Chains A and B, each alone.
Chain A
Protein backbone atom coordinates (compact mmCIF):
# COMPACT_ATOMS: atom_id res chain seq x y z
CA UNK A 1 0.00 0.00 0.00
CA UNK A 2 0.86 3.66 -0.17
CA UNK A 3 3.19 5.11 2.46
CA UNK A 4 2.60 8.25 4.47
CA UNK A 5 5.26 9.57 6.80
CA UNK A 6 5.12 12.10 9.60
CA UNK A 7 7.81 14.07 11.28
CA UNK A 8 8.56 14.37 14.11
CA UNK A 9 7.16 11.24 15.72
CA UNK A 10 7.33 12.80 19.12
CA UNK A 11 7.77 16.34 20.39
CA UNK A 12 7.86 17.90 23.81
CA UNK A 13 7.68 21.66 24.03
CA UNK A 14 7.09 24.45 26.47
CA UNK A 15 3.77 26.23 26.71
CA UNK A 16 3.56 29.16 24.33
CA UNK A 17 5.84 27.77 21.65
CA UNK A 18 4.80 26.74 18.15
CA UNK A 19 5.26 23.25 16.78
CA UNK A 20 5.30 22.22 13.14
CA UNK A 21 4.35 18.71 12.07
CA UNK A 22 5.05 17.45 8.56
CA UNK A 23 3.04 14.88 6.64
CA UNK A 24 4.46 13.42 3.45
CA UNK A 25 3.11 11.00 0.88
CA UNK A 26 6.22 9.05 -0.07
CA UNK A 27 5.27 7.17 -3.21
CA UNK A 28 2.22 8.97 -4.50
CA UNK A 29 0.80 12.43 -4.95
CA UNK A 30 -2.00 13.62 -2.72
CA UNK A 31 -4.11 16.63 -3.59
CA UNK A 32 -5.99 16.12 -0.36
CA UNK A 33 -4.65 15.23 3.05
CA UNK A 34 -6.44 15.06 6.35
CA UNK A 35 -5.36 16.00 9.85
CA UNK A 36 -6.79 14.20 12.86
CA UNK A 37 -6.33 14.53 16.57
CA UNK A 38 -6.76 11.74 19.09
CA UNK A 39 -6.92 12.24 22.85
CA UNK A 40 -6.20 9.30 25.17
CA UNK A 41 -8.85 6.58 24.97
CA UNK A 42 -10.83 8.63 22.47
CA UNK A 43 -11.37 8.18 18.78
CA UNK A 44 -9.79 10.09 15.97
CA UNK A 45 -11.42 13.43 15.33
CA UNK A 46 -10.98 15.12 11.99
CA UNK A 47 -9.53 18.57 12.45
CA UNK A 48 -9.21 19.78 8.89
CA UNK A 49 -8.94 18.81 5.26
CA UNK A 50 -5.80 20.07 3.61
CA UNK A 51 -6.08 20.94 -0.09
CA UNK A 52 -3.02 21.42 -2.26
CA UNK A 53 -2.80 24.98 -3.51
CA UNK A 54 -5.80 26.26 -1.60
CA UNK A 55 -7.00 26.95 1.91
CA UNK A 56 -7.68 24.14 4.30
CA UNK A 57 -11.22 23.31 5.35
CA UNK A 58 -11.56 23.21 9.12
CA UNK A 59 -14.07 21.21 11.10
CA UNK A 60 -16.44 22.96 13.44
CA UNK A 61 -14.77 23.95 16.67
CA UNK A 62 -11.22 23.85 15.31
CA UNK A 63 -9.49 27.23 15.41
CA UNK A 64 -7.89 27.90 12.05
CA UNK A 65 -5.62 30.60 13.48
CA UNK A 66 -4.28 28.20 16.06
CA UNK A 67 -3.83 25.19 13.80
CA UNK A 68 -2.20 26.49 10.64
CA UNK A 69 -2.21 24.15 7.68
CA UNK A 70 -0.09 24.55 4.58
CA UNK A 71 -0.30 22.15 1.64
CA UNK A 72 2.28 23.64 -0.67
CA UNK A 73 3.02 20.58 -2.78
CA UNK A 74 1.39 17.34 -3.83
CA UNK A 75 3.45 15.36 -1.34
CA UNK A 76 3.66 17.60 1.70
CA UNK A 77 1.20 19.10 4.15
CA UNK A 78 2.22 20.79 7.38
CA UNK A 79 0.28 21.46 10.54
CA UNK A 80 1.59 24.15 12.87
CA UNK A 81 0.21 24.30 16.37
CA UNK A 82 0.73 27.94 17.34
CA UNK A 83 1.20 29.06 20.94
CA UNK A 84 0.74 25.53 22.17
CA UNK A 85 -0.80 24.91 25.59
CA UNK A 86 -1.00 21.76 27.71
CA UNK A 87 -4.55 21.08 26.49
CA UNK A 88 -3.13 20.76 22.96
CA UNK A 89 -1.18 17.69 24.06
CA UNK A 90 -2.48 14.92 21.88
CA UNK A 91 -1.71 12.41 19.14
CA UNK A 92 -1.85 14.12 15.75
CA UNK A 93 -2.29 11.87 12.72
CA UNK A 94 -2.41 12.75 9.05
CA UNK A 95 -3.77 10.73 6.18
CA UNK A 96 -3.83 10.84 2.42
CA UNK A 97 -5.99 9.14 -0.15
CA UNK A 98 -4.61 6.83 -2.81
CA UNK A 99 -6.75 4.59 -4.98
CA UNK A 100 -9.82 5.34 -2.92
CA UNK A 101 -8.25 4.21 0.34
CA UNK A 102 -6.97 6.47 3.09
CA UNK A 103 -3.50 5.75 4.36
CA UNK A 104 -2.44 7.08 7.70
CA UNK A 105 0.86 8.44 8.84
CA UNK A 106 2.41 6.98 11.99
CA UNK A 107 1.30 9.94 14.06
CA UNK A 108 3.02 12.64 16.11
CA UNK A 109 2.72 12.65 19.86
CA UNK A 110 2.76 16.21 21.15
CA UNK A 111 3.33 16.95 24.81
CA UNK A 112 3.11 20.56 25.92
CA UNK A 113 4.58 21.24 29.34
Chain B
Protein backbone atom coordinates (compact mmCIF):
# COMPACT_ATOMS: atom_id res chain seq x y z
CA UNK B 1 0.00 0.00 0.00
CA UNK B 2 1.30 3.46 -0.86
CA UNK B 3 2.02 5.75 2.07
CA UNK B 4 -0.44 8.34 0.78
CA UNK B 5 -3.06 7.65 -1.86
CA UNK B 6 -5.43 10.09 -3.47
CA UNK B 7 -8.23 10.15 -6.00
CA UNK B 8 -6.46 10.48 -9.34
CA UNK B 9 -8.86 13.02 -10.84
CA UNK B 10 -9.18 15.13 -12.81
CA UNK B 11 -12.38 16.57 -11.44
CA UNK B 12 -14.14 18.86 -13.89
CA UNK B 13 -16.88 20.83 -12.16
CA UNK B 14 -18.93 23.95 -12.92
CA UNK B 15 -18.61 27.08 -10.87
CA UNK B 16 -20.63 26.88 -7.69
CA UNK B 17 -20.37 23.11 -7.39
CA UNK B 18 -19.32 21.25 -4.29
CA UNK B 19 -16.47 18.82 -4.77
CA UNK B 20 -14.77 16.39 -2.40
CA UNK B 21 -11.35 14.77 -2.58
CA UNK B 22 -10.31 11.68 -0.68
CA UNK B 23 -6.98 10.60 0.70
CA UNK B 24 -5.89 7.49 2.59
CA UNK B 25 -2.65 7.02 4.49
CA UNK B 26 -0.85 3.92 5.66
CA UNK B 27 0.97 5.06 8.82
CA UNK B 28 -1.48 4.75 11.69
CA UNK B 29 0.89 6.70 13.95
CA UNK B 30 0.53 9.91 11.92
CA UNK B 31 -0.93 12.67 14.02
CA UNK B 32 -1.27 15.61 11.69
CA UNK B 33 -2.11 16.04 8.06
CA UNK B 34 -2.06 18.76 5.46
CA UNK B 35 -3.74 19.73 2.27
CA UNK B 36 -1.55 21.73 -0.10
CA UNK B 37 -2.55 23.44 -3.28
CA UNK B 38 -0.22 23.47 -6.25
CA UNK B 39 -0.76 25.57 -9.34
CA UNK B 40 0.79 24.55 -12.63
CA UNK B 41 4.59 24.98 -12.59
CA UNK B 42 4.52 26.52 -9.13
CA UNK B 43 5.52 25.40 -5.67
CA UNK B 44 2.95 23.86 -3.29
CA UNK B 45 1.28 26.17 -0.82
CA UNK B 46 -0.34 25.15 2.43
CA UNK B 47 -4.13 25.21 2.25
CA UNK B 48 -5.18 23.56 5.51
CA UNK B 49 -3.79 21.68 8.46
CA UNK B 50 -5.75 18.89 10.12
CA UNK B 51 -4.86 17.88 13.67
CA UNK B 52 -8.08 16.56 15.17
CA UNK B 53 -11.30 15.39 13.58
CA UNK B 54 -11.41 18.20 11.09
CA UNK B 55 -10.92 21.80 10.20
CA UNK B 56 -12.99 24.39 8.38
CA UNK B 57 -11.82 27.57 6.69
CA UNK B 58 -14.43 29.41 4.68
CA UNK B 59 -15.45 27.27 1.74
CA UNK B 60 -12.94 24.57 2.59
CA UNK B 61 -13.52 21.75 5.06
CA UNK B 62 -11.07 18.99 5.87
CA UNK B 63 -12.18 15.90 7.77
CA UNK B 64 -10.12 13.19 9.38
CA UNK B 65 -11.17 9.64 10.19
CA UNK B 66 -8.33 8.03 12.15
CA UNK B 67 -10.02 4.63 12.37
CA UNK B 68 -10.21 4.39 8.59
CA UNK B 69 -6.96 6.36 8.05
CA UNK B 70 -8.81 8.64 5.72
CA UNK B 71 -8.76 12.39 5.11
CA UNK B 72 -11.08 14.37 2.90
CA UNK B 73 -11.18 17.89 1.53
CA UNK B 74 -14.50 19.47 0.66
CA UNK B 75 -14.73 22.62 -1.42
CA UNK B 76 -18.06 24.38 -1.50
CA UNK B 77 -19.20 26.98 -4.03
CA UNK B 78 -16.26 26.30 -6.35
CA UNK B 79 -14.60 29.28 -7.99
CA UNK B 80 -12.62 29.38 -11.21
CA UNK B 81 -9.60 30.28 -9.11
CA UNK B 82 -9.88 26.97 -7.24
CA UNK B 83 -8.58 25.17 -10.34
CA UNK B 84 -5.32 23.56 -9.22
CA UNK B 85 -3.87 20.29 -8.01
CA UNK B 86 -4.62 19.43 -4.40
CA UNK B 87 -1.98 17.45 -2.57
CA UNK B 88 -2.64 15.35 0.50
CA UNK B 89 0.43 15.41 2.72
CA UNK B 90 1.34 13.31 5.73
CA UNK B 91 4.36 14.28 7.83
CA UNK B 92 6.62 11.72 9.45
CA UNK B 93 8.35 12.94 12.55
CA UNK B 94 12.04 12.24 12.89
CA UNK B 95 14.15 12.17 16.03
CA UNK B 96 15.88 15.34 14.93
CA UNK B 97 12.61 17.15 15.53
CA UNK B 98 11.77 17.83 11.92
CA UNK B 99 9.02 16.47 9.72
CA UNK B 100 9.58 14.61 6.50
CA UNK B 101 6.59 15.26 4.27
CA UNK B 102 5.08 12.43 2.26
CA UNK B 103 3.05 13.74 -0.66
CA UNK B 104 0.16 12.09 -2.38
CA UNK B 105 0.12 12.14 -6.16
CA UNK B 106 -2.41 14.94 -6.12
CA UNK B 107 -5.92 15.42 -7.43
CA UNK B 108 -6.43 17.86 -10.25
CA UNK B 109 -9.45 20.13 -10.12
CA UNK B 110 -10.71 22.11 -13.09
CA UNK B 111 -13.57 24.53 -12.44
CA UNK B 112 -15.31 25.78 -15.55
CA UNK B 113 -17.78 28.64 -16.10
User: Do A97 and B98 touch across chains, with their CB atoms under 8 A apart?
Assistant: yes
Nearest CB in chain B: distance from A112 CB, A: 17
Residue-wise, chain A 77-113 has the 8 Å CB interface mask toward B (1 for contact) of 0000000000000010101010011101111010000
Nearest CB in chain B: distance from A87 CB, A: 20
Whether, in the assembled complex, B41 has its beta carbon less than 8 Å from a beta carbon of chain A, the answer is yes
Return the chain A residue nearest B94 by Cβ: A49
Return the chain B residue nearest A101 by Cβ: B46
Nearest CB in chain A: distance from B31 CB, A: 12
Number of residues in A with C-beta < 8 Å to the partner? Answer: 21
Bound Cα distance A44, B98 (Å) = 18
Which of B43, B46, B98, B105 is A42 in contact with, Cβ under 8 Å? B105
List, in ascending order, chain B residues with CB within 8 A of A34's CB.
100-101
Bound Cα distance A45, B87 (Å) = 12
A-B contact count (CB 8 A): 42
Which residues of chain A (25-78) have a CB below 8 Å from chain B? 32, 34, 42-46, 49, 51
Number of residues in B with C-beta < 8 Å to the partner? Answer: 17
Which of B41, B45, B87, B96 is A44 in contact with, Cβ under 8 Å? B87
List, in ascending order, chain B residues with CB within 8 A of A46's CB.
100-102
User: Do A43 and B106 touch across chains, with their CB atoms under 8 A apart?
Assistant: yes
Q: A91-B41, A97-B99, A102-B99 are in contact. Are A43 and B104 (CB under 8 A)?
A: yes
Residue-wise, chain B 19-46 has the 8 Å CB interface mask toward A (1 for contact) of 0000000000000000000000111111
The 5 A-B residue pairs with the shortest CB-CB distance in the complex, in nearest-first order: A104-B43, A43-B105, A43-B103, A44-B103, A32-B98
CB<8 Å pairs between A and B, sample of 8: A34-B100, A43-B104, A43-B106, A91-B41, A93-B43, A106-B43, A107-B42, A107-B43
